[in-house]
Structure 1
């Protein structure tokens, strides 16, 4: 098969509109080879043009494209005829991977509680698995509560029948039960009313909590947990809804809980009286949090807000799902970026670099105290937990952990070098660059809103909805640098290169960013768009 010249003839049938949008911004180029931190595209003369990759597969290639050790591992597996499709059988390689993930997670969290693993293929699928598991847990807790309410009613009826309890006037008045009715009849009417009311309340759909600016996928359920309304609104009728919490405003958590909390009534016999007590039931299915929001503009969750979220979840018994799809796997210097803030999740989702840039794999981890074994029967994935992807993932962890965690340290060191350059650009162009954000090798550079620019050409780019994409197109064609804006904040360019990114590539990026800043400062939007068109 010729992978060097794969231009297809005929009409564009593979997402033609997206191809058109990419073409508008100059990003519809084909890459024909990849190694290390470099992608290669084909020039008009047929030769290869190297491109420094700062997009990094949206965080999927922390170790670099086609890492030789991972490629060798993949070849060995395929040459040995490893069973990729042996579903519904024993998978010792998956168990080894789960054990190694647990070993590292325990080290980073300072805990020994096991986390059970459910494997998947993509980040969004891992998020959906976590949410489905959390909902199964909620449903089972509600079922247990229903049974408890029935037992309480039975005890009250038995106490009244035995002449051991009365229904006080204050309870009758509170619920509109005639005072002249006999105790047994009055209790029967009260029980019927409470049962109907409790049933209606317990059948209430689940509610999710997520942060403003968060991104958790675009599948049927996960898209409803993604804050960007453009992704979410067209499909809002398909799934349960979320309340989005403003960043760094912990006081809103108590307000939401007060507004949305669910209460049922339980009959209790105390000192010869039948009373009605309130019992709170789980309305909130889960709280989803990214330690660093990727698509929301590379925004780091602050330690104080993380602590407030942790406390809220503990006090209200709301499961915490920590979405480490983009921030995890060593990109910030630890397997879990959230471990650096002290945040401890009931669930974790990991993907992207877990597959080393070769395997399509992800995992949902759920701690033992929350785990429901029934989930393993009602949830499955055809391409998950196979020998190939699990063994590649084990090799990824081995590479990160080698030499006392040299891979993590490399991410921190390279991230610091890259951040120093971004901060230098910001300092020299304060009228153009607003802020540098992020950790390790997950960094963002936000530009000031240019919609009020004195330059018509710059204003045109700013209001196009593709501002960051035009900047990325200029960087690609003029400076040989590949990056993208964050999807829900197009004024922010993302930088998620591999640990193999060199000083020369960082300098190459710096030159490109300084050129972009000069053009924006000077109001030369025509040259920005012109480079893309060229």
Structure 2
């Protein structure tokens, strides 16, 4: 039988046997990829509509980014920050310009960027705002997802992410997302920052009420509090603008970046802010062995240059309208709600039909890869290189799954 010749079942079993079960992946084993498509060990192709949680905004193996990686691999990969290297200045300068900020602090993962933002905000609070030692607090939102370190899960409201990892780090106040009145009430004289996702990704691509981000910006300015925007998933072209904050004409005090910054090749993250904020750090107070390494900088500089053209932001905006319109046409036909901006969508499936996991399994059988979250919700975040025809194909497969 053909099934007996497939390599996937054995590969899945082997992975399960030797891996801690911190993920519950779909039973697909990818061996190669290009653009918006991946191919498994049995030669079956799938349209990737997750794009590594936005880490693959430019698709798999973008030729410009692959060329930059190859060229750098032949010269220099790591020095540590004990020395400078010839890729570092270009990356920091060009990313700072893209963000409209003075300074950049390169790190590796998104969680490291968030941890860096927390540390910088606290230090700014003590040194600049004059808060008494040990009294700083940061206001965050319910439903947030900023990473999985012990500090970050301390202010998560997701029981799976938080339970049994205590004792928890103090210094955080949680308010409902999108509720400006609750945020106003939570800020006091010891508040150093408001840390928010402009659009909540893991929660199901939740877009805040119109005017919310603008109100947050005004409130933070009025109260002398830093506005930290976690744009790790929402930034770098995903929503149709370079940053999701731009949708409301808002500029935060600090950007937290990651995922797409590494071009789908290496983990790269960064914090971008002006000198009066990032300048509070002095040598020896924060760092990372691999942060800002030559290979990462070479790739990430090319990512910044791709974004500087505006091409990918325009693609995301235009193609996003097509995606959102197609999905909204399925409301009442198995979908309860659709949320999103640009090439990013959260789909609430009628729970009477199936769970989000079941929907993703059925989409996989039809050659489309997506990810479920919170019961009956699935997320779509295709690479920004996807075509109109491929978007229509993805929407058609969603419709077919809902129709049973």
TM-score scaled by length of structure 2: 0.91
* Equivalent residues of 2:57, 2:384 under 8 A apart: yes
- Structure 2 distance, partners of 1:18, 1:93, is 35
Question: Structure 1 residues 251 and 38, CA, compared in 2 at 3 Å: closer, same or farther?
Answer: same
2:383 maps to 1:476: no
Q: Deviations over 1:479-500 (max 9, x none)?
A: 10000023xx332211111122
Q: Deviations over 1:250-277 (max 9, x none)?
A: 11123323xxx3xxxxxxxxxxxxxxxx
- Structure 2 distance, partners of 1:87, 1:141, is 27
For residue 55 of structure 2, the aligned residue among 49, 56, 60 is: 60
For residue 94 of structure 1, the aligned residue among 60, 64, 88 is: 88
Q: What does residue 310 of structure 1 align with?
A: 217
- Structure 2 distance, partners of 1:310, 1:8, is 47
Question: Structure 1 residues 11 and 406, CA, compared in 2 at 3 Å: closer, same or farther?
Answer: closer
For residue 21 of structure 2, the aligned residue among 14, 17, 22 is: 17
Q: What does residue 495 of structure 1 align with?
A: 380
Q: What is the deviation of 1:39?
A: 0.8
Question: Structure 1 residues 128 and 443, CA, compared in 2 at 3 Å: closer, same or farther?
Answer: same
SS in 2 for 1:235: coil
* Equivalent residues of 2:198, 2:207 under 8 A apart: yes
Moved more, 8-17 or 322-331: 8-17
Moved more, 233-242 or 339-348: 233-242
Q: What does residue 297 of structure 1 align with?
A: 204
Q: What is the deviation of 1:12?
A: 4.2
Matches within 5 A, 1:346-365: 346-365=253-272
Q: What does residue 312 of structure 2 align with?
A: 407
Matches within 5 A, 1:248-397: 248-257=178-187, 261=188, 282-397=189-304
SS in 2 for 1:34: strand
Q: What is the deviation of 1:376?
A: 4.1
SS in 2 for 1:240: coil
2:342 maps to 1:421: no
Large movers: runs of 4+ above 6 Å: 8-11
Question: Structure 1 residues 288 and 9, CA, compared in 2 at 3 Å: closer, same or farther?
Answer: closer
Question: Structure 1 residues 309 and 9, CA, compared in 2 at 3 Å: closer, same or farther?
Answer: closer
SS in 1 for 2:216: helix
Question: Structure 1 residues 8 and 342, CA, compared in 2 at 3 Å: closer, same or farther?
Answer: closer
- Structure 1 distance, partners of 2:14, 2:315, is 46
Q: Deviations over 1:86-118 (max 9, x none)?
A: 431124522222221222223xxxxxxx43111
* Equivalent residues of 1:284, 1:318 under 8 A apart: yes
Q: Deviations over 1:47-100 (max 9, x none)?
A: x10000001101111111001121111111112x22423431124522222221
Question: Structure 1 residues 8 and 516, CA, compared in 2 at 3 Å: closer, same or farther?
Answer: closer
SS in 1 for 2:240: coil
* Cα RMSD (Å): 2.4
For residue 103 of structure 1, the aligned residue among 97, 108, 118 is: 97
Matches within 5 A, 1:436-515: 436-448=338-350, 450=351, 453=352, 467-477=355-365, 479-486=366-373, 489-515=374-400
| Structure 2 segments unaligned to the other structure (5+ residues) | 1-6
- Structure 1 distance, partners of 2:297, 2:184, is 41
- Structure 1 distance, partners of 2:88, 2:210, is 33
Matches within 5 A, 1:222-237: 222-237=152-167
* Equivalent residues of 1:224, 1:241 under 8 A apart: no
Bigger proportion of residues as helix: 1
- Structure 1 distance, partners of 2:279, 2:368, is 47
- Structure 1 distance, partners of 2:155, 2:89, is 30
Q: What does residue 217 of structure 1 align with?
A: 147
- Structure 1 distance, partners of 2:13, 2:238, is 40
Moved more, 349-358 or 67-76: 67-76
TM-score scaled by length of structure 1: 0.70
2:37 maps to 1:75: no
* Equivalent residues of 1:331, 1:440 under 8 A apart: yes
Q: What does residue 122 of structure 1 align with?
A: 109
Question: Structure 1 residues 422 and 205, CA, compared in 2 at 3 Å: closer, same or farther?
Answer: same
- Structure 1 distance, partners of 2:341, 2:386, is 16
- Structure 2 distance, partners of 1:325, 1:11, is 28
| Structure 1 segments unaligned to the other structure (5+ residues) | 107-113, 146-201, 262-281, 462-466, 520-534
- Structure 2 distance, partners of 1:422, 1:74, is 36
For residue 435 of structure 1, the aligned residue among 299, 322, 337 is: 337
Question: Structure 1 residues 424 and 286, CA, compared in 2 at 3 Å: closer, same or farther?
Answer: same
- Structure 2 distance, partners of 1:36, 1:503, is 14
Q: What is the deviation of 1:9?
A: 8.5
For residue 245 of structure 1, the aligned residue among 175, 180, 184 is: 175
